[in-house]
Structure 1
Amino acid sequence: MLENPRSPRVRAVAKLAKKPARQEDGTFLLEGPQAVSEALRFRPELLVELYATPTALERHPAVAEAAARAGVDLEYVTEQVLEAMADTVTPQGFVAVCRQFPTAVKDVFAAGPKLIAILEEVRDPGNLGTIVRAADAAGADAVILTGRAVDLYNPKVVRSSTGSIFHLPVAVGAELDDVLTRARAAGLRVLAADVKGDDLLAVRTEGLLDGPTAWIFGNEARGLPDEKLALADRAVVVPIYGNAESMNLATAASVCLYESAFAHRS
């Protein structure tokens, strides 16, 4: 059992909460039984190290069983060690170190996608993780981060995705112009979510959501600048029928992605 919270191994894991350490090492931090279970189920080859407290394993014996089936070594640690490793204030008994695994943009389009989410300079880690989760739930084929987006492997992004980061391809480091050129070449209509756009209900009624679609979602504070918005085939707004001043980006993205999912399945 690993007992010293100030040991070099513990410090090395804890450093992964910071981007420079993740970039240098090519790994990232994974916390909690749900995220660890999803990694073990879908991408066990990515797990480099797996730590758990005895109490956590008593509560979640299936995690230990999944690790054994996948051939992933699990090391016991004390509560103090786990707290020192984790990014959260109240970790749930599991911490893992995973290899980063971004997808190349060309591979996204080579797979013939029918629905993708393009996030242009989305900076909030909670929003990014939630949109990845929503895209996964809506059956999207991929998520692509363009411009100066938040790091995909930021601990809050990973936590907010609740394991969806392991379910669908996510491409990073792309430029919007190039992505849209590839999207059109692959036969996708490009729709941009923007407050200056046409009502989503009208766009749905026109049948514009029925075919393969690439949705663009812009920065939380600024949205999409006019020159970026002009690159889309159509701008679309999610209408607000009540008295809310605005809608959270992740919520609007979820609505748009699900509208496309409904149209594809109707």
Structure 2
Amino acid sequence: MPRIPEVTLANPRADRVKQVRALSGRPARSRHGQFLVEGPQGVREAVRHAAGDVRDVYLTPQAAERYGEILAAAREAGLFVHVATPEVLAAMSPDAQGVLAVARTRETALGDALDRVRAASPASPLLVAVLSNVRDPGNAGTVVRASDAAGADLVVLAGESVDVHNPKVVRSTAGSLFHLPVVTGVPLPDAVRALRAAGCTVLAADGAGEDDLDDLLDVAGPAAARGAGTPDLAASTAWIFGNEAWGLPAPDRALADAVVRVPIRGRAESLNLATAATVCLYASSRAQR
């Protein structure tokens, strides 16, 4: 068990506390190039996998004792660790659960991210999730988490999608934000062009799609007998997922090589965005492996 440092922050009205709390808003995040990571799971993964981007770590004495591995990893990485009273952590963020970090935002160009992924695994098919105008923070974060779990290489938040550093998005990723590259601020047509140039078949997920996901799984792989124009889920694939309320408009669907529906066997009208994205990503993951 690492030695617990003494409390150094006890005033919930201190300027530092106000500055950290302000990062819950987009103006402060944009101005300072920093964002909040709230809760033990997110902070643990940030310290383990993106320590170079972590500016400060804050813990209550109780959290420092309970999550000794976070304290030890932060110290090993040479990070600034501050022990604060529960009142200070609550003032910084009501969702901190006694553990909070401030991290630097890092803008990544789509081309650079694709180059790094290709260099790391040149022989493996790509799997990419593209969120187009997805506004709900919980959905966006859950798709990042599902992409990570399915072994995807990259997530792109295109168009007017939610800020990936929104605290609700960061919490919803459960630390996956620090496991794979997430590119933001790319117009959807530009993202499609770059992904197609990288060798990806671009598939739009939509309930009115002509291609059935299960049928594509049945004929996935190099030895399968597919009809002309039928996409191969075993090949490099980029999935486009649309807005929660209105899905993908016709111009966005037209950018894709095919429009694919997730089969619904029961009486549910539809699947929500995050669930549909998870099903599609795992279908590709299964076919590619």
Give TM-score, length-normalised by structure 1.
0.96
Give 5+ residue unaligned stretches, structure 1: none
Q: Does 1:126 align with 2:126?
A: no
Q: What's 2:264 paired with?
A: 240
Q: Does 1:166 align with 2:173?
A: no
Output aligned runs, 1:12-27, within 5 Å: 12-27=19-34
* TM-fit CA distance, 1:120: 0.4
Measured on the aligned residues, the alpha-carbon RMSD in Å equals: 1.1
Instruction: Letter of the 1:170 partner, please give it.
Output: V
Instruction: Letter of the 1:108 partner, please give it.
Output: A
Instruction: Letter of the 1:201 partner, please give it.
Output: D
Instruction: Letter of the 1:158 partner, please give it.
Output: V
* TM-fit CA distance, 1:259: 0.4
Match of 1:153 among 157, 165, 185: 165
2: distance between equivalents of 1:52 and 1:109? 36
* TM-fit CA distance, 1:174: 0.2
Q: Does 1:64 align with 2:71?
A: yes
Instruction: Letter of the 2:201 partner, please give it.
Output: R
1: distance between equivalents of 2:31 and 2:254? 37
1: distance between equivalents of 2:196 and 2:101? 39
Q: What's 1:200 paired with?
A: 213
2: distance between equivalents of 1:95 and 1:150? 22
> After superposition, what is the alpha-carbon deviation per residue over 1:81-105, rounded to whole angstroms, capped at 9, x for unaligned?
00000142xx311111100123211
* TM-fit CA distance, 1:28: 0.1
1: distance between equivalents of 2:56 and 2:10? 16
SS at match of 2:23: helix
> After superposition, what is the alpha-carbon deviation per residue over 1:132-169, rounded to whole angstroms, capped at 9, x for unaligned?
00101111110011100000000000000010000000
| 8 Å Cα contact 1:122-1:150 kept in structure 2 | yes
How many residues are treated as equivalent by the alignment? 263
Match of 1:43 among 30, 39, 50: 50
Q: What's 2:11 paired with?
A: 4
> After superposition, what is the alpha-carbon deviation per residue over 1:207-245, rounded to whole angstroms, capped at 9, x for unaligned?
220100010001110111101101111101111111222
Runs of 4+ in 1 over 3 A off after TM superposition: none
Q: Which has the larger radius of gyration?
A: 2
| 8 Å Cα contact 1:102-1:169 kept in structure 2 | no
SS at match of 1:195: coil
Q: What's 2:286 paired with?
A: 262
* TM-fit CA distance, 1:3: 0.8
Give 5+ residue unaligned stretches, structure 2: 1-7, 119-124, 221-231
Q: What's 1:253 paired with?
A: 277
Q: What's 2:195 paired with?
A: 183
Give TM-score, length-normalised by structure 2.
0.89
SS at match of 2:19: helix
2: distance between equivalents of 1:134 and 1:102? 22
| 8 Å Cα contact 1:146-1:173 kept in structure 2 | yes
Q: What's 2:113 paired with?
A: 108
> After superposition, what is the alpha-carbon deviation per residue over 1:234-265, rounded to whole angstroms, capped at 9, x for unaligned?
10111111122221100100010010000001
| 8 Å Cα contact 2:207-2:270 kept in structure 1 | no
Deviates more, 1:102-111 or 1:221-230: 102-111
Match of 1:83 among 62, 80, 90: 90
| 8 Å Cα contact 1:29-1:96 kept in structure 2 | yes
| 8 Å Cα contact 1:87-1:155 kept in structure 2 | no
Instruction: Letter of the 2:162 partner, please give it.
Output: V
